[in-house]
Amino acid sequence: MDHPLNPAPPTPEDVLQAAHRLKGIAHRTPVLRSATADERLGAQLFFKCENLQRTGAFKFRGAFNALAQFTEDQRLRGVITFSAGNHAQAVALAARMLDMPALVLMPETAPAAKMAAARHYGAQVLTYDPETQNRQLLCERLALERGMTLVAPSEHPAVIAGQGTAALELLEEVPRLDHLLVAVGGGGLMAGSLLAVQATASPCKVYGVEPEIANDAQQSLHSGSIVRIALPGSTIADGAQAQSLGPLAFGILKHGAEGIVTASDEQLVQAMRFFAERMKIVVEPTGALAFAAAEHAGLDLRGTRVGVIISGGNVDLQRYARFLAD
**Nearest by Cα to 62 from 186, 206, 220:** 186
Residue among 34, 193, 220, 311 flagged as catalytic = 311
pLDDT in tens, 179-209: 999 999 999 999 999 999 999 999 999 999 9
For residues 146 and 152, is the Cβ–Cβ distance under 8 A? no
Instruction: Provide the pLDDT confidence category of residue 259 given band limits of 50, 70 and 90.
Output: very high
- This prediction has a pTM of 0.95
Give the architecture (CATH level 2) of 12-58+157-325.
Answer: 3-Layer(aba) Sandwich (3.40)
Coil vs helix vs strand at 128:
strand
**pLDDT for res 145:** 96
Report the pLDDT averaged over residues 2-24.
88
Report the pLDDT averaged over residues 34-41.
98
Query: Which range (84-88, 149-153, 167-171, 250-254) has the least confidence?
Result: 84-88
Q: Is the pLDDT of residue 4 over 70?
A: no
Report the pLDDT averaged over residues 286-304.
97
- Integer-rounded Cα Rg, in Å, for the chain is 18
What's 244's DSSP letter? -
Does the active-site annotation cover 23? no
Instruction: Provide the pLDDT confidence category of residue 165 given band limits of 50, 70 and 90.
Output: very high
Does the active-site annotation cover 59? yes
* Spatial distance between the Cα atoms of 79 and 153, rounded to a whole number of angstroms: 12
**pLDDT for res 232:** 61
List, in sequence order, every beta strand (DSSP E) within 282-324. Answer: 305-310
**pLDDT for res 175:** 87
What's 229's DSSP letter? P
Same fold, 12-58+157-325 and 60-150: yes
**Nearest by Cα to 169 from 34, 313, 311, 29:** 29
* Spatial distance between the Cα atoms of 240 and 234, rounded to a whole number of angstroms: 11
Q: Is the pLDDT of residue 51 over 90?
A: yes
**Nearest by Cα to 57 from 321, 310, 319, 316:** 310
Q: Where are the domains of the chain?
A: 12-58+157-325, 60-150
pLDDT in tens, 77-114: 999 999 878 899 999 999 999 999 999 999 898 878 88
**pLDDT for res 135:** 86
Name the average pLDDT for the chain: 94
Which CATH number fits the domain 60-150, given the four candidates 3.90.1150.10, 3.40.1390.30, 3.40.50.1100, 3.30.950.10?
3.40.50.1100
Residue among 59, 114, 154, 220 flagged as catalytic = 59
Exposure class string for 252-269: b at 16+ Cβ within 10 A, else e: bbeebbeebbbbebebbb
Q: Is the pLDDT of residue 233 over 80?
A: no
DSSP element (H, E) containing 278: none
**pLDDT for res 109:** 83
